[in-house]
């Protein structure tokens, strides 16, 4: 990966392909590698930019206050891209929303795959997940916390591990571990993003929903699709929360015509 250093540490990124630029922003339990299976197809028609958020993957944890939207803007300036198409998964989807609200002139289109909703009233199952992760970390059992997250975000509540594609858990294990190790530092320094009116988003928008995802996120996806004018809701029936891992071919089939409009 390539390193972009600054006074807070550094961001790591990679670029593939040629054509109109597309930025893929990873989930909060992953890193840039979650997009491995979709990049080759997208790179045939686009310049595909992936980066690790601060404290994830190969990007250093922050040493001071930062905003994810500022980091994305700085990366785009560094690469010389005034306007891009954004694709964000889970927390990366929220980063993409916040960037679009803060810099509407820099976004050509927006694809959101299971993004969170600020202030959402989480279900008992989601609260139990959070409590289980917190208890594991408090006990110093990092590997137990990793398993809690793999169960929730990769396997999901609607299937067993036998139904998850072989190798995906090991593919995600190290990124989850890194995110957990750095989450306190990231949480301490992150300044969040702008809270604007979703109805002000006037770029083509696709909202992806995993048919096997946590019910909370299925509801949230529908909220985004209803709130953003003209947004298209696309369901991936065999995917849980991490659509790019569970259904890469289906995701490419949905993104390809959307990104080339």
Residue-wise pLDDT tens digits, 157-211: 999 999 999 999 999 999 999 999 999 999 999 987 767 899 999 999 999 999 9
User: Using 50, 70 and 90 to split pLDDT, how confident is the model at 4?
Assistant: very high
- Residue 30: inside a domain, yes or no? yes
pLDDT for position 261: 82
- Residue 69: inside a domain, yes or no? yes
- Residue 35: inside a domain, yes or no? yes
- Residue 171: inside a domain, yes or no? no
- Residue 24: inside a domain, yes or no? yes
What CATH number does the domain containing 19 carry?
3.40.50.1820
- Residue 43: inside a domain, yes or no? yes
Q: Indicate the number of domains in the chain.
A: 1
What is the chain's Cα-based Rg? Answer: 17
pLDDT for position 196: 81
Compute CA 53 distance to the chain's CA centroid, rounded to the nearest angstrom. 10
pTM over 0.75: yes
pLDDT for position 67: 95
Place of tokens 């306007």: 83
- Kindly state the average pLDDT of the residues 19-45: 97
- Kindly state the average pLDDT of the residues 216-232: 97
Residue 249, domain extent: 2-120+188-259
Percent over 90 (pLDDT), the chain:
97
């Amino acid at each position: 990966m390539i390193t972009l250093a600054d006074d807070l540490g550094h961001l790591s990124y990679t670029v593939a392909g040629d054509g109109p630029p597309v930025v893929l922003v990873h989930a909060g339990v992953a890193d840039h590698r979650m997009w491995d299976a979709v990049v080759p197809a997208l790179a045939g028609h686009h310049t595909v930019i992936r980066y690790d958020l601060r404290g994830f993957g190969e990007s250093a944890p922050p040493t001071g206050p930062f905003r994810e939207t500022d980091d994305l803007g700085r990366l785009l300036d560094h690469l010389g891209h005034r306007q891009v198409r954004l694709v964000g998964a889970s927390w990366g989807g929220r980063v993409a929303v916040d960037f679009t609200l803060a810099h509407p002139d820099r976004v050509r289109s927006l694809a959101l795959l299971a993004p969170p909703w600020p202030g959402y009233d989480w279900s008992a199952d989601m609260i139990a997940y959070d409590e289980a992760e917190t208890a594991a970390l408090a006990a110093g059992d990092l590997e137990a916390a990793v398993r809690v997250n793999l169960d929730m975000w990769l396997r999901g509540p609607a299937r067993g591990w036998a139904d998850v594609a072989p190798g995906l858990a090991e593919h995600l294990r190290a990124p989850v571990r890194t995110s957990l190790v750095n989450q306190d530092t990231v949480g301490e320094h992150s300044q969040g993003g702008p809270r604007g009116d979703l109805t002000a988003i006037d770029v083509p928008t696709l909202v992806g929903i995993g048919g096997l995802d946590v019910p909370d996120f299925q509801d949230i996806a529908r909220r985004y699709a209803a709130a953003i004018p003209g947004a298209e809701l696309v369901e991936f029936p065999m995917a849980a929360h991490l659509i790019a891992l569970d259904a890469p071919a289906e995701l490419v089939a949905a993104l390809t015509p959307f990104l080339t409009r």
